[in-house]
Chains A and B, each alone.
Chain A
């Protein structure tokens, strides 16, 4: 049992091996969100994914599976499925895409709306 995740568009997808079941439940009855959390927690802590409402309403967790944009929390895991960021232009990191509803009114420490009048300590890096 494995799934593939495309974390960067200029790189091939990464294959992650999963156990046959999780907590005794077959993957076919669990969501891609559960699989992403499992991978981040148990296999690869560098994976970034979006936490969500868990019921297909908020759309924060959208991903692309077999060329279709779906919510990760309501999509069942399948063997060898390819998970990609929903849209390249919206990609923030790994499978997280920017689904912001108020982008025009947004402020942040990066990007075109950068506000230097705010006190900004040096990066955590």
Chain B
């Protein structure tokens, strides 16, 4: 089965900030562009539920946006902060691009009417200055601009595999969830903007369905992942009660990060931070707290829900009652950033403690790109959280959205340029891919997809948390390879109706997620080796004939 079809110039996989911004820039050059989104563009993905902070230095705010800010908060400082924040494992070229480029992107949004209140200085690992606009508002403006530029959207389309012809990537095959059909979409150039891999953790503060589809598709197409194991964790987010899972409120506002002396307790009631940081206790650095909590959990001293207890029981209730009176971010009725938290406070007052744990927040590793958004595969580009290499091992607040905008532009323009140089494309032979996609739907008996999906999530949560142990990673690598080899070929949907079939979606995600997880474990395993010298390196994963391979690339030794 082959198809020779009327292609788009550019298709962008992913309809978050990075994807739609890439599409907008590509379409502005006259290219025929479509965004292919697994969920709904501008709603699914992590942008809409992000805090909306965009890192930008004072110098840029004054010079390029005419806003009132500190001009001595310079580009140079912003650049240094990004590299320092990531322990100099980030790529200076990618960092420089964000520092120099974010102003122009904000200017386009500002001209579209987006308001950018300036936050001078930063909190925690702040970048210096930043602006903040609520995620949904930002996403709405981006969608509006993209639609006006002529971008088309194919939503509820679960992209599964990239197609290729003799000249390179030529489109994508996947499932239209609404119609329940397998479809191909032809394109002269492809941008992967599918976001991070955080939905592979049970403990996370991010949306569902961020499985690593884009990372897996890119690997299969010949691209590399860089530092796939780097994941940003937030130290103590709500685990139970589930209704508020992922909330940072109790740690950031009502806990140590907010200056309030709540206590971390293990199941024995021990303030275990005394063993890690006797002076600072719960006020130790986020990294250390995450590590300590993870150790309590894996060593069997955690709470029933898989976390530890965050307790206010030693404080008078009046003290907590008074917080909204003086805290500038807490509104009456325990409203914070629009979230109604009265119910959570009722439980906290009644029981004194809740269960918290470090949660996966943002992928820092991902598809390896250069400053133009190009992967090593001609015609395949990537941007945003799907990519790696910018941040290094940790990141500053607000840099994820700055990255989405700057890399969105770069990859969109590069893809449009590539498409102009390509006369025609063929979707090639895709009968095999189609059969693979349909296999779980057609299979009579087998493994229930969500059960395998849950095994993968449990595995990731256990070994790829803030604490990484070589022996555990070895075992996990064997497990994930066993799942790929023996479980994936047996996945069977329990219902045949192909429309919005959750079992089918789970089965397809098992495939991409397991490949992404294997890549992350490989990288983490190499990073867990005792350092033999002071050399700094990035971990590069590629897919070869015999499977995934990991290599250390010394920093400064090579550029792509």
Shortest CB–CB separation between residue B38 and chain A, in angstroms?
Answer: 10
The verdict on A67 contacting chain B, using a C-beta distance below 8 Å, is no
Contact with A along B498-509 (1 / 0, CB 8 A): 111111000000
Contact with A along B431-463 (1 / 0, CB 8 A): 000100010010000000010000000000000
Shortest CB–CB separation between residue A120 and chain B, in angstroms?
Answer: 6
* CA gap between A108 and B343 in the complex, in Å: 41
**Contact call B39/A123, Cβ cutoff below 8 A:** no
Given A60-B39, A107-B152: A40 in contact with B502 (beta carbons within 8 A): yes
Which of B41, B434, B499 is the one whose CB lies under 8 Å from A121? B434
The verdict on B43 contacting chain A, using a C-beta distance below 8 Å, is yes
Shortest CB–CB separation between residue A65 and chain B, in angstroms?
Answer: 14
The verdict on B135 contacting chain A, using a C-beta distance below 8 Å, is yes
A101: chain B residues at CB < 8 Å are: 40-43, 139-140, 143
Nearest CB in chain A to that of B150: its residue: A105
The verdict on B209 contacting chain A, using a C-beta distance below 8 Å, is yes
Shortest CB–CB separation between residue A7 and chain B, in angstroms?
Answer: 12
* CA gap between A59 and B136 in the complex, in Å: 10
* CA gap between A58 and B138 in the complex, in Å: 12
Nearest CB in chain A to that of B46: its residue: A53
Contact with B along A94-124 (1 / 0, CB 8 A): 1010011110111111100000011111111
The verdict on B494 contacting chain A, using a C-beta distance below 8 Å, is yes
Shortest CB–CB separation between residue B424 and chain A, in angstroms?
Answer: 14
Main secondary structure of the interface of B (DSSP, over half): loop
The range of chain A's interface size is 35 or more
The range of chain B's interface size is 35 or more
Nearest CB in chain A to that of B48: its residue: A58
Shortest CB–CB separation between residue B435 and chain A, in angstroms?
Answer: 11
Shortest CB–CB separation between residue B157 and chain A, in angstroms?
Answer: 8
Question: Of B173-181, B320-328, B517-525, which stretch is located at the interface?
Answer: B173-181
B156: chain A residues at CB < 8 Å are: 108
Given A49-B502, A55-B247, A124-B438: A31 in contact with B207 (beta carbons within 8 A): no
Most buried by B among A47, A51, A117: A51
A93: chain B residues at CB < 8 Å are: 178, 499-500
**Contact call B178/A108, Cβ cutoff below 8 A:** yes
Question: Of B86-94, B183-191, B255-263, B274-282, which stretch is located at the interface?
Answer: B183-191
* CA gap between A99 and B34 in the complex, in Å: 19
Shortest CB–CB separation between residue A115 and chain B, in angstroms?
Answer: 9
The verdict on A57 contacting chain B, using a C-beta distance below 8 Å, is yes
* CA gap between A5 and B322 in the complex, in Å: 41
The verdict on B241 contacting chain A, using a C-beta distance below 8 Å, is yes
The verdict on A2 contacting chain B, using a C-beta distance below 8 Å, is no
Which of A23, A46, A99, A109 is the one whose CB lies under 8 Å from B176? A109
**Contact call B500/A109, Cβ cutoff below 8 A:** no
**Contact call A106/B153, Cβ cutoff below 8 A:** yes
CB within 8 Å of B: which A78-94 residues: 92-94
**Contact call A76/B243, Cβ cutoff below 8 A:** yes
CB within 8 Å of A: which B157-197 residues: 157, 175-176, 178-186
* CA gap between A121 and B34 in the complex, in Å: 19
**Contact call A59/B502, Cβ cutoff below 8 A:** no
Contact with A along B112-156 (1 / 0, CB 8 A): 000000000000000000000001100110010011000111111
The verdict on B49 contacting chain A, using a C-beta distance below 8 Å, is yes
Shortest CB–CB separation between residue A79 and chain B, in angstroms?
Answer: 16
The verdict on B100 contacting chain A, using a C-beta distance below 8 Å, is no
**Contact call B183/A55, Cβ cutoff below 8 A:** no
Nearest CB in chain A to that of B4: its residue: A119
* CA gap between A118 and B501 in the complex, in Å: 24
Shortest CB–CB separation between residue A19 and chain B, in angstroms?
Answer: 15
Given A51-B39, A60-B40, A101-B143: A118 in contact with B179 (beta carbons within 8 A): no
Which of A60, A102, A123 is the one whose CB lies under 8 Å from B181? A123
Pull 20 A–B residue pairs with CB atoms less than 8 Å apart, ordered by A: A25-B241, A30-B241, A30-B243, A45-B502, A53-B206, A56-B339, A60-B39, A60-B40, A76-B343, A92-B500, A99-B43, A100-B40, A102-B155, A105-B146, A107-B153, A108-B154, A108-B156, A108-B176, A110-B178, A121-B434
